[in-house]
Amino acid sequence: MPTILITGCSSGFGLETAKLFLDRGWDVIATMRKPDPDLLPPSERLRVLPLDVTDPKSIAEAVAAAGHIDVLVNNAGFGAPSPIELTAPETVRSLFETNTIGTLAMVQAVVPQMRQRRAGVVINVTSTVTVKTLPVIGVYRASKAAVNALTESLAVEMEPFGVRVHIVLPGRSPTTRFGENARPHFRGFDDADYAPMLQQFIKSVQDDTGPVTHAADVAEAVWRAATDPSAPLRIPGGADAELWMAEAGL
């Protein structure tokens, strides 16, 4: 069976995607900064490897240990809601190092073997916030929009070599740990001007009424990208993602 390597499998979209591909008979390499094999059902087709996408040595070791990779899913990332004016420099660097440079580094580490084989699929998970102007997450949006741009060019570059490239764009997912992981980076609650904006943002993120994205939606979108040669470059990963992309004309 084909082999898929997925980054950021400790929770949310990455964990659900790893489970889905295991259920459907694939060989799965689930990577995490702190490997926990107990998060996934035991299987002879599963390998759990340590990987920090911001560490070149960690990337080299993980890719070497993985060996043959048919599908690469760049899912690792985090958010940091904060008004642009107040976003700490270290947070800006972390966002781009993880979300953008980490994705690029994984592509550069894995694509050579795909190009040589003239086969493979690269799937970069970004976000539908890149297609809609929103406050409070401007730097996060920028880090993910940069991945969109990289992926679009990569798709053109890889096409002559038989390597498919796709972007999966999830929507808002109240059931994942996005908000929990982002909380340490919040800025502006003590600012009279920005506090109402931040409070409204948190309310909207936690609201589970109306169309939302579930981790299973993203896993199915990744499955489509991995298995359907006719899949488009951009694939929405949730009911709200479909609406936002339609509104953006995508």
The pLDDT of 171-179, averaged and rounded, is 72
- Catalytic hit among 19, 57, 140, 194: 140
The pLDDT of 14-39, averaged and rounded, is 97
pLDDT of 20: 98
* CB-CB contact of 120 with 109 (8 Å): no
pLDDT of 151: 98
Q: Which pLDDT tens digit goes with each residue over 129-155?
A: 999 999 999 999 999 999 999 999 999
Q: Is 57 a catalytic residue?
A: no
Would you call 180 helix, strand, or coil by DSSP? helix
| Whole-angstrom distance, CA of residue 164 vs CA of residue 120 | 6
| Residue 177 clears pLDDT 60, i.e. is over it | no
pLDDT of 209: 77
Q: Which pLDDT tens digit goes with each residue over 203-239?
A: 887 777 789 999 999 999 999 999 999 999 999 999 9
Choice between 27 and 206, residue whose per-residue pLDDT is larger: 27
pLDDT of 182: 59
Choice between 1 and 121, residue whose per-residue pLDDT is larger: 121
| Whole-angstrom distance, CA of residue 98 vs CA of residue 77 | 6
Q: Which two tokens stand for residue 134?
A: 């929103």
Q: What angle do CA 227, 72, 158 make, to 5 degrees?
A: 80
* pLDDT band at residue 114 under the 50/70/90 scheme: very high
Q: Is 194 a catalytic residue?
A: no
- Catalytic hit among 57, 144, 194, 203: 144
Prediction pTM value: 0.95
pLDDT of 178: 55
Q: What is the mean pLDDT of the chain?
A: 94
